[in-house]
């Protein structure tokens, strides 16, 4: 395996030299069905996913994946360079993201979205479970995890604080019934839009001192308790289309740091 990795490194360096001197078309034509941008894996090894290399990073698009098993097979194929800038997944053809689904691969940004559109009936049967350790290989690299349209009613929020660089989390259009307790020294943006929780308990956000953006619109919130007592840098709170009728007087600064 070590020799094979060295061979890939040599090919990557050689391709960079050729691209620099002669242009990318000197390596392979863009009309080739298996067009490969090194250091991406061979396209046939990861199909139906596709890898693209741009802005000095690899990006994996798996929006055409058919089910959980196929996703597992893709990420347990030969992937010489396992550090990816981003990952895109569909929610309507997946049910569970297991602990081992991504093997040794790491990501910086993950987006999981219903590709059929929010009003399509295919989005009624979507991702339901994410294992607490699904993205733990990315504990030092993950910056954002964004899930649009799912059937996730419970999420391992207690693991968010283990990610050393995460700054954005999103779980929207999901049946999340309870506002989560989150502890993270790095989280800055939290989007819990169009879920089903009714209140934000007191002090539940004390563990996210750097939170600057919080969006809660289209929930059933009827009151805000003292949830913002320790948020000194909150810049943007969005909470329209809720049942909110009262806002408890509290001390939180919406002006940001001076």
Specify whether 190 is located in the same domain as 219.
yes
Structural domain for 81, as ranges: 37-238
**Would 252 be classed as within a structural domain?**
no
SS3 109: strand
C-alpha closest to that of 160 among 133, 184, 188, 193: 184
Cis before 48 (ω within 30): yes
pLDDT at 222: 73
User: pTM of the full predicted structure?
Assistant: 0.79
Neighbours of 211 (CB within 10 A): 24
**Would 151 be classed as within a structural domain?**
yes
- According to DSSP, the β-strands at 83-90 and 106-113 are parallel
What residues are paired with 112 via a beta bridge?
A: 89, 147
Residue 171 and residue 162: Cα distance in Å, rounded? 18
What are the tens digits of pLDDT across the range 128-170? 999 999 999 999 999 999 999 999 999 999 999 999 999 999 9
Specify whether 196 is located in the same domain as 170.
yes
pLDDT at 227: 64
The backbone torsions φ and ψ at residue 27, rounded to the nearest 5 degrees and listed phi first, read -85, -50
Specify whether 1 is located in the same domain as 83.
no
**End-to-end Cα separation, the chain, in angstroms:** 54
pLDDT at 188: 96
**Would 130 be classed as within a structural domain?**
yes
Specify whether 58 is located in the same domain as 136.
yes
- Which CATH number does the domain housing residue 161 bear? 3.80.10.10
Specify whether 6 is located in the same domain as 120.
no
| Residue 25 Rama label (left phi>0; alpha psi -120 to 50; beta) | alpha
On whether the CB atoms of residues 40 and 53 are closer than 8 A, the answer is yes
Average pLDDT, the chain: 81
Residue 138 and residue 103: Cα distance in Å, rounded? 11
Specify whether 76 is located in the same domain as 174.
yes
**Element containing residue 87 per DSSP (H, E):** strand 83-90
Encode the chain (258 residues) as per-residue pLDDT tens digits: 555 555 555 555 555 544 444 344 333 334 444 456 779 999 999 999 999 999 889 999 999 999 999 999 999 999 999 999 999 999 999 999 999 999 999 999 999 999 876 555 667 778 999 999 999 999 999 999 999 999 999 999 999 999 999 999 999 999 999 999 999 999 999 999 999 998 888 888 899 999 999 998 888 887 665 666 666 666 666 665 555 544 444 444 444 443
Specify whether 28 is located in the same domain as 151.
no
pLDDT at 27: 36
pLDDT at 76: 98
Specify whether 5 is located in the same domain as 42.
no
Specify whether 68 is located in the same domain as 3.
no
The backbone torsions φ and ψ at residue 6, rounded to the nearest 5 degrees and listed phi first, read -65, -35
């Amino acid at each position: 395996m070590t020799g094979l990795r060295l061979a890939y490194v040599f090919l990557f360096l050689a391709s960079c030299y050729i691209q620099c001197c002669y242009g990318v078309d000197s390596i392979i034509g863009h009309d080739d069905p298996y067009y490969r941008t090194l250091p991406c894996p061979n396209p046939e090894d990861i199909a139906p996913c596709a890898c693209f290399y741009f802005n000095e990073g690899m990006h994996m698009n798996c929006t055409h994946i058919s089910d959980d098993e196929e996703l597992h097979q893709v990420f347990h194929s030969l992937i010489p360079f396992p550090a990816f800038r981003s990952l895109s997944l569909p929610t309507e053809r997946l049910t569970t993201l297991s602990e081992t689904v991504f093997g040794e691969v790491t990501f910086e940004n993950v987006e999981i979205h219903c590709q059929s559109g929010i009003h399509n009936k295919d989005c009624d049967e979507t991702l339901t479970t994410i294992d607490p350790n699904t993205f733990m290989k990315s504990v030092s690299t993950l910056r954002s995890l964004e899930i649009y349209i799912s059937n996730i009613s419970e999420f391992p929020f207690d693991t968010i604080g283990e990610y050393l660089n995460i700054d954005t989390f999103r779980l929207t259009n999901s049946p999340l019934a309870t506002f989560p307790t989150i502890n993270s020294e790095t989280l800055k943006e939290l989007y819990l839009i169009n879920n089903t929780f009714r209140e934000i308990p007191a002090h539940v956000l004390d563990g996210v001192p750097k939170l600057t953006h919080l969006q809660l619109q289209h929930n059933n919130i009827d009151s805000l308790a003292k949830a913002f007592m320790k948020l000194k840098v909150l810049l943007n709170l969005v909470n329209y289309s809720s049942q909110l009728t009262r806002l408890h007087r509290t001390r939180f600064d919406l002006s940001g740091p001076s």
